[in-house]
Structure 1
Amino acid sequence: MILLRVTLPFLAGYFLSYNYRAINALLGPLLAEEFALSAAELGFLTSVYFLAFGAFQIPLGVLLDRFGPRRVNASLLLVAACGALLFATGQSYAELVTGRALIGLGVSGCLMASFQAWVLWHPPERIAMLNGIAFATGGLGAISASVPLELLLRLLGWRDIFLILVGFNFAVVALLAAVVPERAQTRHGESLAESLAGVGRILADAAFWRVGLALFGLQAAVGSLLTLWMATWLRDVAGYSRAEVGQVLLFANLALIAGFLGYGRAADALARRGRSAFPLFAGGIGCAAACLAPLALGVTVAAPLLWMLFVGCGTVGSLAYSILTRRYPREMTGRVNATLNIFTFGGSFLGQWGVGLVIGRWPQSAAGYDPQAYAYAFGMLWLAMLAGLAWLWSGRRLFAGA
Structure 2
Amino acid sequence: MTGGSTAEQFSPSTTDRPSGATAPRAGGTPRGAWVVWAAAATAFAIAVFHRSSMGVAALPAAERFEVGAGVVSTFVVVQLLVYSLAQLPVGVMLDRFGPRRMITIGAVLMALGQASMAVADQLGWAVAARVLVGAGDAMTFASAIRLVPAWFAPRRVPLMTQVTGLTGQFGQILSAVPLVWLLRTTGWSTSYLVAAATAVLSALVAGLLIRDHPAGGTTPRSSGRPRAGLGDVLGHPGTWLGAFTHASTVFAPMTFAMMWGFPYLTSAEGRSDATASGLLSLLVVLGVFVGPMVGFLTQRHPLRRSTLVLLVVIANALPWLMVVLWPGPAPLWLLTLWVVGLATGGPGSAVAFDFARTFAPTERLGTATGFIIMCGFAVTLATILGIGLALDAQGGSYDLQSFRRAWLVMLVPYLLGPLGIVWTRTRARHKEDLRVPTWREVWKREIGNRNWPRLDRGRRS
TM-score by length of 2: 0.80
Structure 1 equivalent of residue 288 of structure 2: 257
Q: Structure 1: how far apart are the matches of 2:182 and 2:268?
A: 25
Alignment check: 8 A CA contact 2:245 2:417 kept: yes
Q: 2:107·2:203 contact (CA, 8 Å) conserved in 1?
A: yes
Report if aligned partners of 2:309, 2:351 keep a CA contact under 8 Å in 1.
Answer: yes
Query: What's 1:352 paired with?
Result: 384
* Alpha-carbon displacement from aligned partner over 1:178-210 (angstroms, at most 9, x marks no partner): 22234342234613x1x3312111111223224
Instruction: Provide the residue aligned with 1:327 in structure 2.
Output: 359
Given candidates 372, 375, 387, the residue that maps to 2:401 is 372
Q: 1:360 to 1:259 in 2, by over 3 A?
A: farther
Is 1:127 matched with 2:160?
Answer: no
Aligned residue number for residue 260 of structure 2: 229
Distance 1:260 1:362 in 2: 38
SS of 2:56's equivalent? helix
Distance 1:47 1:95 in 2: 15
Instruction: Pick one of 413, 429, 448 that aligns with 1:384.
Output: 413
User: 1:129 touches 1:265 (CA, 8 Å); kept in 2?
Assistant: yes
The structure 1 residue matched to 2:320, chosen from 283, 292, 300, is 292
Pair 1:145–1:189, CA change in 2 (3 A): closer
Identity of aligned residues (%): 20
User: 1:206-228: per-residue Cα shift (whole Å, max 9, x none)?
Assistant: 23224423432443322212211
The one-letter code sitting in structure 2 at the alignment partner of 1:296 is V
- 1:326 is paired with a residue whose SS is helix
Q: For 1:61, what is the secondary structure of its paired residue?
A: helix
2:236 aligned with 1:238: no
Secondary structure of 2:343's match? Answer: helix
Kept in 2: contact 1:298–1:371 (CA 8 A) = no
Contact 1:218 1:384 in 2 (8 A): no
Of 260-269 and 222-231, the range deviating more from structure 2? 260-269
Is 1:279 paired with 2:311? no
SS of the aligned residue for 2:67 comes to coil
Partner of 1:42: 72
1:292 match: secondary structure: helix
How has the CA–CA distance of structure 1 residues 112 and 189 changed in structure 2, closer, same or farther, with 3 Å as cutoff?
A: closer
| 1:81 Cα deviation from its structure 2 partner | 1.2
The alpha carbon displacement at 1:136 in A equals 0.7
Larger Rg: 2
* Structure 2, unpaired ranges of 5+: 1-30, 437-460
Note if contact 1:295-1:306 (Cα within 8 Å) is conserved in structure 2: no
Q: Which amino acid aligns with 1:279?
A: T
CA gap of 1:28–1:14, structure 2 versus 1, over 3 A, is same
**Aligned mates of 2:220, 2:239 — CA distance in 1:** 23
3-state SS of 1:46 partner: helix
Q: Tell me the secondary structure at the aligned position of residue 264 of structure 2.
A: helix
Q: Separation in 2 of the partners of 1:390 and 1:16?
A: 34
Q: Which residue of 1 aligns with 2:344?
A: 313
Contact residue 87 and residue 95 of structure 1 kept, 8 A: yes
Q: CA deviation at 1:307?
A: 2.6
Q: How many residues align?
A: 394
What does residue 205 of structure 1 align with?
236
Between the aligned partners of 1:382 and 1:7, the Cα distance in structure 2 is: 37
Match in the other structure for 2:218:
185
Residue 52 of structure 2 aligns with which residue? 22
Compute the displacement of 1:310 (Å). Answer: 2.5
Q: Secondary structure at the match of 2:218?
A: coil
Matching residue of 2:35: 5
State the alpha-carbon separation in 2 of the partners of residues 21 and 298 from structure 1.
Answer: 31
Cα distance in 2 between the residues matched to 1:106 and 1:246: 26
Q: Look up the equivalent residue of 1:329 and give its one-letter code.
A: P
Alignment of 1:17-96 (within 5 A): 17-96=47-126
Match of 2:373 among 333, 341, 354: 341
- 2:181 aligns with one of 139, 143, 151: 151
Contact 1:23 1:227 in 2 (8 A): yes
RMSD: 2.1
Please tell me whether the aligned partners of residues 113 and 131 of structure 2 are also in contact (alpha carbons under 8 angstroms): yes
Is 1:116 aligned to 2:146, yes or no? yes
Deviates more, 1:372-381 or 1:163-172: 372-381
Contact 1:351 1:381 (8 Å CA) reproduced: yes
Match of 2:16 in 1: none
* CA positional deviation for 1:145: 1.3
CA distance in 1, matches of 2:326, 2:270: 12
Distance (Å, rounded) in 2 between the aligned partners of 1:229 and 1:170: 28
Change (3 A) 1:329 1:210: closer
Deviates more, 1:199-208 or 1:99-108: 199-208
After superposition, the Cα gap between the structure-2 partners of 1:207 and 1:330, relative to the gap in structure 1 and judged at 3 Å, is closer
2: CA distance, partners of 1:214 / 1:5: 30
Looking at structure 2, the residues matched to 189 and 99 of structure 1 have their Cα atoms a distance apart, in angstroms, of: 32
Separation in 1, partners of 2:314, 2:222: 43
1:362 Cα deviation from its structure 2 partner: 0.9
Shift of the 189–390 alpha-carbon distance from structure 1 to 2, 3 Å rule, reads closer
Moved more, 63-72 or 253-262: 253-262
Distance 1:56 1:119 in 2: 23
* CA displacement at 1:345 relative to structure 2: 1.2
CA contact (8 A) 2:81 2:377 kept: yes
Amino acid at match of 1:220: F
Offset of residue 333 of structure 1: 1.4
Q: Given residue 337 of structure 1, which amino acid in structure 2 is its aligned partner?
A: T
Distance 2:255 2:362 in 1: 31
